[in-house]
Amino acid sequence: MKLHRIGVAILIVILSVTLAGALAELPSVEQRTSTSQLTRRVIDGGLQDTGALNLVSAVLFDYRAFDTLGEATVIFAAVAGVVMLFYQAPLHPSSIGLSMLAKRSLDSIGPFVFLAGMYVVLYGHISPGGGFQGGVILATLTILISIVYGLETERRLLDPTFKTTLESSAALLFMVIAFGGILTGEYFLSNLSAGFPRGEAGSLLSAGSLAPLNAAIGLKVGAGLALIFYSMVKREPE
């Protein structure tokens, strides 16, 4: 026991020294943005290349859209795994929920949560946010409903089969947009060069395929997380 603790302490000291050394070697933010070719390329040419004001979205859904497709696939696999794992659990839904006060509070804030989620998804190419963040906010709304109003109410509002369909069709929408690039003679996931309209920078319908890709990811993540929560809170047989 004693020896074990000393070993851990030595390991922590070694790790701290290594990390402190690495930290001292790091260039400052100003130094990095002025010397890194990649950073300069995105900051200077991002708006020209993609038509998106939010450069983070530009990187996520244009320059590195293929990575985003991979991330979406990972989430898809995770959702499928969780749903499969809890598939056997029969449903004993409750429609009692919390007190009247909690229900009325959710009635007042619910629409605004939905609005915030939709805003973050649809304006992902203009302001901070995007499909992932907005999708999680939308999923939070369904989770709030199932906690406050009971799982039965949430199930009646949004059928699990509907959520599954929504998630799969959002994934399909992403692929359809991605293949649109190939159909016009460009590359997989090509954006402006494949003929998607550039629009006026800063308006809702701009930046070519970025907005629809954001919407697809938003629906996918939202439906997927709602499904994960739904599958997990279904009661086990007692």
Partner 1 sequence: MTEIFHVMVLTFLIICAIAVAYIRDLLSAVILFAAYSLMMAVIWQQLDAPDIAMAEAAIGAGVTTLLFVVTISKTRRQE
Are 227 and 87 a contacting pair, CB within 8 Å?
A: no
* CB closer to partner 1 out of 69 and 120: 120
DSSP letter at 59 equals I
* CB closer to partner 1 out of 25 and 236: 236
DSSP states along 65-106: HHHHHHHHHHHHHHHHHHHHHTTTSPP------S-HHHHHHH
> Could you tell me the smallest distance in angstroms from the CB atom of residue 140 to partner 1?
5
* CB closer to partner 1 out of 39 and 184: 39
Q: How far is CA 79 from the centre of its chain?
A: 13
- Tokens standing for 228? 């994960």
> Could you tell me the smallest distance in angstroms from the CB atom of residue 139 to partner 1?
7
Binding to partner 1, residues 1-20 (CB under 8 A): none
233 touches partner 1 (CB under 8 A) = yes
* Residue 105 buriedness (CB in 10 A; 0-12 / 13-18 / 19+): middle
| Nearest Cα to Cα of residue 147 among 200, 179, 88, 106 | 106
206 touches partner 1 (CB under 8 A) = no
80 touches partner 1 (CB under 8 A) = no
Q: How many beta carbons lie within 10 A of that of residue 135, not counting itself?
A: 28
Q: Which stretch binds partner 1 (CB under 8 A): 7-15, 90-98, 131-139, 156-164?
A: 131-139
Place of tokens 């290349």: 49
61 touches partner 1 (CB under 8 A) = no
DSSP letter at 190 equals -
Binding to partner 1, residues 137-176 (CB under 8 A): 137, 139-140, 143
121 touches partner 1 (CB under 8 A) = no
* CB closer to partner 1 out of 51 and 222: 222
Q: Which stretch binds partner 1 (CB under 8 A): 61-69, 133-141, 152-160, 170-178?
A: 133-141
| Nearest Cα to Cα of residue 128 among 120, 117, 140, 136 | 120
Q: How far is CA 235 from the centre of its chain?
A: 27
List the one residue from 14, 115, 183, 232 that touches partner 1 (CB under 8 A). 232
Where on the chain is the footprint of partner 1 (CB under 8 A)? 54, 56-57, 120, 128-130, 132-133, 136-137, 139-140, 143, 225, 228-229, 232-233, 236
